[in-house]
Amino acid sequence: MQNAAKHQKRVESGQILPIFTARMQIDRVNVLGVGVSAINMELAKSAFVYAVKNQRKGYVCVTGVHGIMESQDDPKIRVIHNRAFLVTPDGMPMTWMGRLQGFSQMNRVYGPDLMLEIMEISRASGFRHFFYGGANGVARELKNKMEARFPGIEIVGTYEPPFRPLSAEEEIDLERLVTETRPDIFWVGLSTPKQEKFMAQYLPKLDVTLMVGVGAAFDFHSGRIVQAPRWMQRSGLEWFFRLCVEPKRLWRRYFKNNPRFVFQAACQLLRIKKFALE
């Protein structure tokens, strides 16, 4: 990874630069051809603050093994990831891959935790938020939960999309609603790769600064689905917990993706196979 030594000095002993600047480049770890940002939570928060305050338009992919393997199956998804403002290491395997490539202070930036951290920052900064996604009122429940947890937070709108692409009329309605409410951060709670495709398509159309795809965070924080215990999250076993909670929906994903990821990651680390970082 280029500039690994320079980046390592910036994050040595966890001491992340408190202010993200235009001159500061966040390095990316090559994970099977996807550039995962070599960051931890503090640097991620600084990048968000910089982007909103400087109106640096972009989208953030919160990515684990699922997103990486979707990128193997569909080059368009890989391109979307590699054009993102940030690709946060949502799963522990992303962090392990980064550390094995020289970024020892890289740490997991878990989507649900990132969401809470940005909400806390927003109480003082006044950043405005919009929730897009969820089903059966999840986005509205999430809005209520966040407003109760973070008094003073500005959540200016929610939108529950249909289980299909937006029609031309629905797209116009969404654009109008976003223009009227003027959110800084547009949170997308769809599944991967649907949310990544949505962000890449709609970022140019919507009057927002950042779009962030956080998937199941909507269900977790609204109370619809229970989260894995912290020890399972830290040990890389969250996938097993989620499989036990939602076996019918997730068994095919995990039994297909996890073994393939382990094999291909081993091939990359052992230099048996090269993965170009576009």
Structure tokens given for 29 = 């770890």
Confidence of residue 24 (pLDDT cuts 50, 70, 90): low
Query: What are 120's strand-pairing partners?
Result: none
Query: What are 30's strand-pairing partners?
Result: 35
pLDDT for 72:
95
Show Cβ contacts of residue 114 under 8 Å, excluding neighbours closer than 6 positions: 41, 44, 62, 88, 212, 214
pLDDT digits (tens, 9 = 90+) for 216-256: 899 888 878 777 788 888 878 887 878 888 888 877 788 88
Summarize the confidence of residues 5-10 as an average pLDDT. Answer: 42
pLDDT for 8:
42
N-term to C-term CA, the chain = 13
Query: What are 213's strand-pairing partners?
Result: 61, 188
Residue for token digits 């159309």?
Answer: 205
Count of CB atoms within 10 A of residue 49's CB? 18
Q: What percent of the chain has pLDDT over 90?
A: 70
Q: What gap in Å lies between CA 234 and CA 261, rounded to an integer?
A: 19
pTM of the model as a whole: 0.87
Confidence of residue 18 (pLDDT cuts 50, 70, 90): very low
Residues in the chain, overall count: 278
Q: Which segments within 93-145 are labelled E, that is strand?
A: 128-133
pLDDT digits (tens, 9 = 90+) for 141-150: 999 999 999 9
pLDDT for 13:
33
Q: Which residue, 122, 70, 64, 115, is CA-closest to 94?
A: 64
pLDDT for 250:
79
Structure tokens given for 127 = 């950043």
Q: Are residues 82 and 277 in contact, defined by beta-carbon separation less than 8 angstroms?
A: yes
C-alpha dist (Å) from residue 161 to 212, 216, 262: 16, 15, 35
pLDDT digits (tens, 9 = 90+) for 74-132: 999 999 999 999 999 998 999 999 999 999 889 999 999 999 999 999 998 999 999 99
C-alpha dist (Å) from residue 215 to 67, 189, 218, 238: 11, 4, 7, 15
pLDDT for 103:
92
* Average pLDDT score over the chain: 88
Helices (H) and strands (E) in the chain, counts: 13, 8
pLDDT for 31:
97
pLDDT for 189:
94
> Which residue type sits at 62?
V
Q: Are residues 175 and 205 in contact, defined by beta-carbon separation less than 8 angstroms?
A: yes
Structure tokens given for 184 = 């800084």
Confidence of residue 9 (pLDDT cuts 50, 70, 90): very low
Alpha carbon 210 to chain centroid distance?
11
pLDDT for 224:
80
In this structure, of 59-63, 65-69, 75-79, 238-242, the range with the lowest mean pLDDT score is: 238-242
Q: What percent of the chain has pLDDT over 70?
A: 91
